[in-house]
Amino acid sequence: MNVPDSRNVICTVDVVLLCLKAGSLHVALLRRDHNPYAGVLALPGGFVRPELDQNTSDAAVRMLREKAGLESPYLEQLATFSGQARDPRGWSVSIAYYALVPPDLLDLTAQPDVTLVPVDVPRALPFDHREIIAAAVERVRSKSTYSSLPVYLCGERFTLPQLQTVYESLLGESLNKVSFRRKMDELDILEPIQGEMETGRANRPAQYYRLKAGYRDQLSLCNRGLSSS
C-alpha cells in the first residue's frame, strides 16, 4: 500500500522528568551524545523503535530506563509537538510524556549524566524542548489543584505538613492547613503507616502517611480545587 509522504516524518518520543529539589520544581536534562546538538543539554528522548516498543508509552518507559536509569511511578502522555522547523533532520513529530518522581529516586550519584535545572529559570534548549517543558509544568500545576498528582513527587512516606509544602510549591501559594486536610480526607487516598512517626523535631511528632495501595497507579480527583484563587 502507498504511504509515501508519511515515510518522511521522523517519529520521536521526549520525556519531561520532573522532581522537587529545595522546594522547587526541577526538570532532568541530559547531554546529547550525537548530532544534532551533540554535547548540549536536552530532554531525554529518541526515536520510536517499532521492533522494541509496543507503543509510544513503551518508548517513553524505555527512554527513562536507558537514559536516566529509572522507572517512574507516574508517567502520562502530555501532547504531540510537530512540524518542519523543530528538528534540523526534517519534518518530525515528538510525542511528549511527563514523569513525576520523588527526590530519592533521582539519585544523582547513580545517574551522573543527569542535570537538574529549575523549571522557572528560562534557558535556551535545543529543538522546542523549552516549549515542551513549559507545557508539562502548566499541566502539572493545573492538575495539582484538583488531584492527588503531587503525591508522586513525595517519597514513599511523608507527613501531612510535608505533603502540604509540596502542594504549596506547585501552586505557588500558601494553603490553609484545615482546608488542606479536609481535601486530603475527601480524596481518601492516604493511609497512616502504623507506628511510624516523624521524631527529632521541636513540635509534636507527626504521623507518616503513604498512598493507599489502590491509588499507587492512578490519580484521584477532588470536586473542587485546593487553591483559593
Q: For binding to its own copies (CB under 8 A), which residues are involved?
A: 1, 3, 5-12, 35-36, 47-51, 54-57, 77, 79-80, 82-84, 89-91, 93, 95, 223-225, 229
Cell reading at 47: 526515536
Provide, rounded to whole angstroms, the least separation between the CB of residue 95 and its own copies: 5
Residue 33: exposed, middle, or buried by beta-carbon count in 10 A (0-12, 13-18, 19+)? exposed
Instruction: For its own copies, give the closer residue by CB, 35 or 174.
Output: 35
Provide, rounded to whole angstroms, the least separation between the CB of residue 177 and its own copies: 21
CA dist 12 and 80 (Å) reads 10
Provide, rounded to whole angstroms, the least separation between the CB of residue 225 and its own copies: 6
Instruction: For its own copies, give the closer residue by CB, 7 or 204.
Output: 7
Provide, rounded to whole angstroms, the least separation between the CB of residue 28 and its own copies: 22
Side-chain half-sphere of 30: how many Cα atoms within 13 Å?
21
CA dist 28 and 42 (Å) reads 9
Provide, rounded to whole angstroms, the least separation between the CB of residue 229 and its own copies: 7
Q: Which residues of 113-146 are buried (b: 16+ CB within 10 A; e: fewer)?
A: ebebeebeeeeebbbbbeebbebbbebbbebbbb
Positive/negative CA dihedral, 147, 149, 155, 156: positive
Instruction: For its own copies, give the closer residue by CB, 204 or 224.
Output: 224
In the block, residue with C-alpha cell 512516606:
157
In the block, residue with C-alpha cell 518542519:
84
Instruction: For its own copies, give the closer residue by CB, 83 or 192.
Output: 83
Instruction: For its own copies, give the closer residue by CB, 84 or 199.
Output: 84
Provide, rounded to whole angstroms, the least separation between the CB of residue 150 and its own copies: 19
Instruction: For its own copies, give the closer residue by CB, 24 or 228.
Output: 228
Q: Could you tell me which of 37, 42, 167 has the C-alpha nearest to residue 96?
A: 42
